[in-house]
């Protein structure tokens, strides 16, 4: 049976066959509807599917119009061209529900088809970073390739990737330029470092040479000082030796008095101090004197004896022309102070190297030690400190020669009694009133003429 082809009608070549053909072309407006694309709710795990999701076709088929023809030639239901259609009763054509076409997924072309290895790496990187280039999203909603055919879309995507690759190549080129600049800077810095290191080595060699020259000069200076000075002492060693002398006197009296001043002869001590006139200006009556007062008096007497015997001499206690020396020295100082100092130092150096000096020194030490031993044995009964007294006298003699041989001679200076106590220039003793006035000078001050050397005195204030 033959039938004519009409748009919108179903034609069959065999009335007994259940298969029908449906014209779904664009020309048949009764059956054709525009497909609608929807994105899947979940992203596909695949790289190409994640970037280019496959669309889904949804089509709606309108019901067939009633045409004046045989009932056998009219279709009952239209599904798809690939699905068999079974005849339905005529009454089903009168329903209000429209005819539907089953949805089928349109297979998408793999995005990686025909790409080079570099382009595939760029595609993978863009998928990982969620790249959006130049304000255009790669997703279908914002993609600039919507509405294009498959080949055109693929070409557009490749163009986007190639543009990104070109940008990366430009960035790599710029980084290489920066790297070359950094390498050049490193080369210049290394060159400057080597220049500075060479200069450092030169300066180090010069300093080492100057250190050697300084050692030679220092040795020559010390040798010169040995020729013009009686000893090798300087201010620091003299200060240390004076401190040791003061401590030695304190230890001598402490040893002589015994535990809790058991050896102290109070009556003999007071009689001696009264006989020398030292108690005349003392603010405490003799009946109220305590043992520590008498012990402080004994320290002051020992130091006073050492001063009169060894320190308070124009040149030395063993020099027979002290009075004449002082007159000549004063005359020379008024005319040429440097020549006077040199002459004094030469005389001290001659006395220190003279073989007869040791003999004269022993005589003067014995004389001073005997006087001190006699006094201490009277004040402190049963004491035996003769050896300590001789040691103190020997130290005082050698120290006096060293102080006289300095460029600016060092000599003892006594503080006047009744002077207000000054903690910056004085040292206080046991049970001394720091707000009172000086009542006893236990250890005098030692100074030179130019105030370059100063040992503060030890005093007791009331």
Q: What is the strand order of the sheet 458-461 is part of? A: 427-428, 458-461, 438-443
Q: Is the pLDDT of residue 389 over 70?
A: yes
Q: What is this structure's pTM?
A: 0.55
For residue 411, what pLDDT is reported? 93
- Confidence band for 259, pLDDT divided at 50, 70 and 90: confident
Mean pLDDT score, 261-290: 86
Count the neighbouring beta carbons within 10 Å of the beta carbon of residue 119: 17
pLDDT of residue 161: 92
What DSSP character marks residue 110?
P
Q: What pLDDT is recorded for position 286?
A: 86
Residue 115: predicted pLDDT? 66
In b/e form, how buried is each residue of 45-75, taking b as 16+ CB within 10 angstroms? eebbeebbbebeebbebeebeeeeeeeeeeb
Range among 17-21, 26-30, 132-136, 279-283 with highest mean pLDDT value: 279-283
For the chain, what is the mean pLDDT? 77
d(CA 336, CA 144): 109
Please count the residues of the chain. Answer: 462
Q: Is residue 20 over pLDDT 70?
A: no
**Residue 438, strand partner residues:** 461
Nearest-5° angle of CA 171, CA 176, CA 177? 100
CA distance 76 to 92: 8
Q: What is the DSSP string of 243-274?
A: HHHHHHHHHHHHHHH-GGGTTB-HHHHHHHHH
Distances (CA, A) of 5 to 2, 8, 64: 10, 9, 15
Is 48 a residue whose pLDDT tops 80? Answer: no
């Amino acid at each position: 049976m033959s039938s004519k082809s009409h748009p919108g009608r179903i034609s069959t070549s065999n009335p007994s066959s259940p298969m029908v053909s449906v014209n779904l072309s664009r020309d048949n407006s009764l059956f054709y509807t525009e497909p609608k694309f929807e994105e899947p709710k979940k992203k596909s795990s695949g790289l190409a599917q994640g970037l280019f999701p496959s669309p889904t076709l949804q089509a709606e088929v309108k019901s067939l119009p009633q045409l004046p023809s045989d009932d056998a030639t009219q279709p009952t239901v239209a599904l798809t061209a690939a699905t068999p259609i079974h005849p339905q009763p005529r009454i089903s054509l009168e329903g209000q529900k429209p005819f539907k076409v089953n949805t089928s997924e349109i297979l998408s072309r793999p995005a990686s088809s025909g790409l080079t290895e570099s382009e595939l790496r760029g595609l993978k990187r863009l998928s990982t970073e969620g790249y959006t280039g130049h304000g255009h999203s790669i997703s279908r909603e914002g993609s600039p390739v919507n509405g294009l055919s498959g080949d055109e879309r693929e070409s557009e995507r490749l163009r986007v990737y190639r543009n990104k690759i070109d940008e990366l190549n430009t960035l790599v080129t710029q980084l290489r330029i920066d790297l070359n600049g950094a390498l050049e800077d490193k080369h210049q810095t290394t060159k400057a470092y080597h220049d500075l290191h060479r200069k450092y080595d030169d300066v180090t060699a010069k300093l080492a040479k100057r250190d050697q020259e300084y050692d030679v000069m220092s040795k020559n200076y010390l040798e010169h000082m040995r020729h013009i000075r009686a000893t090798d002492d300087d201010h620091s060693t003299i200060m240390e030796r004076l401190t040791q002398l003061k401590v030695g006197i304190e230890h001598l009296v402490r040893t002589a008095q015994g535990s809790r001043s058991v050896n102290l002869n109070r009556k003999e001590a007071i009689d001696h101090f009264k006989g020398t006139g030292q108690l005349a200006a003392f603010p405490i009556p003799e009946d109220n004197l305590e043992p520590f007062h008498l012990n402080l008096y004994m320290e002051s007497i020992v130091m006073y004896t050492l001063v009169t015997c060894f320190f308070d001499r124009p040149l030395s206690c063993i020099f027979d022309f002290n009075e004449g020396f002082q007159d000549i020295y004063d005359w020379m100082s008024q005319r040429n102070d440097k020549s006077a100092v040199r002459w004094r130092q030469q005389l001290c150096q001659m006395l220190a190297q003279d073989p007869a000096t040791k003999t004269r020194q022993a005589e003067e030490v014995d004389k001073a030690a005997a006087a001190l031993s006699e006094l201490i044995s009277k004040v402190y009964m049963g004491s035996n400190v003769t050896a300590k007294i001789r040691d103190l006298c020997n130290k005082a003699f050698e120290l006096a020669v060293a102080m006289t041989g300095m460029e600016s001679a060092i000599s003892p200076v006594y503080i006047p009694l009744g002077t207000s106590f000054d903690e910056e220039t004085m040292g206080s003793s046991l049970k001394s009133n720091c707000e009172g006035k000086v009542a006893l000078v236990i250890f005098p001050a030692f100074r030179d003429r130019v105030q370059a050397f100063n040992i503060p005195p030890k005093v007791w204030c009331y």
